[in-house]
């Protein structure tokens, strides 16, 4: 019987190809082939495209195609210099973040970029970074929480309800939200939504295997900076958009949520970022996380379908949360606005068709509505895009972190952020010091730097905030 040593003597490299070859050899032997004929068939798979060989040899042929592609990749695929990109709020952005962005601007598939004033160091692409590419999608420039999303619902109810029924409203959040990295609903309590009937769940065997995760996590929120909160909405324009028109000066009860595609998006991101790295094994280690997939390749098409499904799932996730809370409140939603901020879009920019990755950045094309949140203790804003091409039609996705989570735990005393929330009249359910307002940049400064990018339509001020507590949800002492 043919062994791995035999194949190495014939010039085969150690690795996956030998394992696939031995598996194929066993199958060919069972079909009556002798050793010489098996070796001829294995060598044929080594040089022949997968569609042209026997199905037994197809996996081996595909592996050899990958090996040849890797060997054909130059040792350095990067441009000698970064292509130009625009920065808003450079004084708020650390040097390591701009260095990371410059690495992205050296990719051969990059055609443009921008940094928002909330930008900080991320994985692959900075959070607050915008990357436009030609013909290629970069999974890690989208991020691990695909389609992380904001949704604001405004009710035809006075914000005075927050004073008269604060405890009741807090209980509504406790009963109708579910937080945590692995949070899910048990059988019998799982909400329904038409997204579970989306035909894209059957597009690949991998995505099909994620449907049970989606079914269990629909209507749940993650950990970290994910939240669902009651607050006060007030219009800032006398003439707002028809679908989002409110009387300035009047204050409304509103619900704001922030979360993404949960385990579905996480698993998609991990799978296809690994595949992208396998496609570009010699990419310089400084930008290895930004490995890309050709959108016309099989893997690129699979990721695109999967990413868009994750986007629809994230939207459904918010819809379920808001519907449940609204039903418990017993009031109708007067208007809503929502947007992704970890996603990739096909967009025409600078007169060319591009793929625009917004890693923690808000779409801000002409007239496009969105939400830029602050922190658990500071206001966020409903915005309308101005379509600034220099920013690739983008704006910030929040205030942006001023310090890492580790540094926040080390340097912010609990009494300091509890006192801050008390002064702001915020009741916190769950949460931890790494999400304290002091861990974030000043939202007023960040928004003030974006007058060229967005118009401010309204302001949302949080009053009852629900977040993950890192364990079993518990009520915190009220901060009035």
Final residue of a structural domain among 37, 72, 107: 72
- Answer whether residue 122 is part of any domain: no
CA atoms within 13 A on the CB side of 76: 7
Residue 71 clears pLDDT 70, i.e. is over it: no
Write down the pLDDT at residue 225: 92
Write down the pLDDT at residue 126: 94
- Answer whether residue 83 is part of any domain: no
332 plus 429 within the same structural domain: yes
3-state secondary structure of 15: coil
Question: In whole angstroms, what is the distance from residue 346 CA to residue 334 CA?
Answer: 31
DSSP state of 203: S
Residue 112 clears pLDDT 90, i.e. is over it: yes
Could you list the residue range(s) of the whole structural domain that residue 224 is in? 149-467
Average pLDDT over the chain, rounded to an integer: 90
339 plus 438 within the same structural domain: yes
20 plus 158 within the same structural domain: no
336 plus 430 within the same structural domain: yes
- Answer whether residue 111 is part of any domain: no
DSSP state of 401: B
- What percent of the chain stands above pLDDT 90? 69
| Residue-wise DSSP of 420-461 | HHHHHT-EEES--GGGSGGGB--HHHHHHTTTTTEEEEEEEE
Select the more confidently predicted residue: 3 or 217. 217
Residue 341: pLDDT band with limits 50, 70, 90: very high
- Answer whether residue 479 is part of any domain: no
268 plus 416 within the same structural domain: yes
42 plus 163 within the same structural domain: no
Q: What is the mean pLDDT of residues 217-239?
A: 90
Poorest-confidence range of 37-41, 265-269, 468-472?
A: 468-472
Exposed, middle or buried: residue 33 (CB in 10 Å: 0-12, 13-18, 19+)? Answer: middle
Question: In whole angstroms, what is the distance from residue 475 CA to residue 441 CA?
Answer: 27
Asked if residues 154 and 338 have their Cβ atoms less than 8 Å apart, the reply is no
Question: In whole angstroms, what is the distance from residue 78 CA to residue 103 CA?
Answer: 8
Residue 240: pLDDT band with limits 50, 70, 90: low
Cα R_g (the chain), whole angstroms: 25
- Answer whether residue 366 is part of any domain: yes
- Answer whether residue 478 is part of any domain: no
Write down the pLDDT at residue 480: 30
Give how far Cα 281 sits from Cα of 79, 137, 142, 278, Å: 17, 17, 20, 5
Write down the pLDDT at residue 241: 61
Express each pLDDT in 386-445 by its tens digit. 999 999 999 999 999 998 888 999 999 989 999 999 999 999 999 999 999 999 999 999
Poorest-confidence range of 23-32, 103-112, 257-266?
A: 23-32
Question: In whole angstroms, what is the distance from residue 330 CA to residue 214 CA?
Answer: 27
Final residue of a structural domain among 19, 38, 72: 72
Residue 64 clears pLDDT 90, i.e. is over it: no
Task: Give the number of domains in the chain.
Answer: 2
Q: What is the mean pLDDT of residues 462-477?
A: 68
40 plus 164 within the same structural domain: no
432 plus 335 within the same structural domain: yes
> Strand 333-340 relative to strand 149-158: parallel, antiparallel, unpaired?
antiparallel
- Answer whether residue 188 is part of any domain: yes
CA atoms within 13 A on the CB side of 101: 30
Asked if residues 367 and 388 have their Cβ atoms less than 8 Å apart, the reply is no
Select the more confidently predicted residue: 395 or 40. 395
476 C-beta neighbours (distance < 10 Å), count: 16
Q: What angle do CA 442, 290, 397 make, to 5 degrees?
A: 25
- Answer whether residue 52 is part of any domain: yes
Write down the pLDDT at residue 311: 97
Q: What is the mean pLDDT of residues 253-278?
A: 95
CATH of the domain at 327: 3.90.1860.10
61 plus 200 within the same structural domain: no
Per-residue burial over 242-254, b if 16 or more Cβ lie within 10 Å, else e, is eebebeeeebbbb
Residue 477 clears pLDDT 70, i.e. is over it: no
Asked if residues 387 and 452 have their Cβ atoms less than 8 Å apart, the reply is no
Final residue of a structural domain among 49, 72, 95: 72
381 plus 258 within the same structural domain: yes
């Amino acid at each position: 019987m043919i062994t791995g040593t035999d194949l190495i003597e014939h010039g085969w490299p150690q690795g996956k190809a030998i394992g696939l070859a031995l598996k194929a050899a066993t199958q060919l032997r069972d079909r009556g082939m002798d050793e010489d004929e098996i070796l001829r068939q294995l060598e044929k798979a080594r040089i022949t495209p997968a569609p042209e060989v026997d199905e037994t040899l197809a996996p081996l042929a595909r592996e050899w195609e990958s090996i040849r592609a890797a060997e054909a990749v130059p040792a350095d695929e990067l441009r000698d210099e970064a292509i130009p990109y625009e920065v808003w709020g450079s004084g708020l952005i650390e040097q390591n973040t701009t260095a990371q962005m410059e690495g992205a601007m050296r990719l051969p598939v990059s055609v443009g970029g921008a940094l928002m004033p909330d930008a900080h160091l991320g994985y692959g692409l900075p959070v607050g970074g915008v990357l436009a590419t030609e013909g290629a999608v970069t999974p890690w420039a989208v991020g691990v929480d695909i389609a992380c999303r904001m949704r604001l619902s405004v009710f035809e109810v006075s914000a005075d309800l927050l004073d008269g029924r604060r405890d009741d409203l807090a209980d509504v959040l406790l009963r109708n939200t579910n937080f945590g990295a692995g949070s899910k609903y048990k059988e019998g309590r799982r909400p329904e939504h038409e997204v579970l009937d989306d035909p894209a769940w059957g597009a690949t065997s991998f995505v099909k295997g994620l449907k049970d995760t989606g079914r269990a996590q629909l209507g749940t929120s993650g950990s970290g900076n994910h939240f669902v909160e009651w607050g006060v909405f007030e219009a800032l324009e006398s003439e707002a958009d028809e679908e989002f028109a409110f009387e300035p000066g009047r204050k409304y009860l509103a619900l704001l949520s922030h979360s993404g595609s949960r385990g579905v998006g996480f698993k998609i991101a991990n799978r296809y970022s690994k595949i992208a790295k396998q496609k570009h094994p010699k990419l310089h280690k400084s930008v290895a996380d930004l490995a890309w997939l050709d959108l016309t390749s099989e893997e690129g098409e699979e990721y695109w379908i999967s990413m868009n499904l994750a986007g629809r799932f994230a939207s459904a996730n918010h819809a379920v949360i808001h519907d449940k809370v609204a039903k418990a409140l017993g009031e109708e939603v007067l208007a809503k606005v929502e947007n992704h901020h970890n996603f990739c879009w096909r967009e025409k920019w600078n007169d060319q068709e591009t793929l625009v990755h917004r890693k923690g950045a808000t779409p801000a094309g002409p007239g496009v509505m969105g939400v830029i949140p602050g922190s658990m203790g500071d206001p966020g804003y409903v915005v309308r895009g101005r379509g600034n091409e220099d920013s690739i039609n983008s704006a910030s996705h929040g205030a942006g972190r001023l310090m890492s989570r580790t540094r926040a735990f080390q340097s912010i005393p609990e009494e300091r952020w509890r006192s801050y929330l008390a002064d702001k009249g915020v009741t916190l359910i769950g949460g931890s010091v790494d999400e304290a307002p002091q861990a974030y940049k000043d939202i007023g400064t960040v928004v003030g730097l974006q007058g060229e990018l967005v118009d401010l339509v309204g302001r949302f001020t949080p009053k009852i905030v629900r977040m993950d507590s890192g364990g079993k949800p518990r009520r915190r002492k009220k901060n009035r």
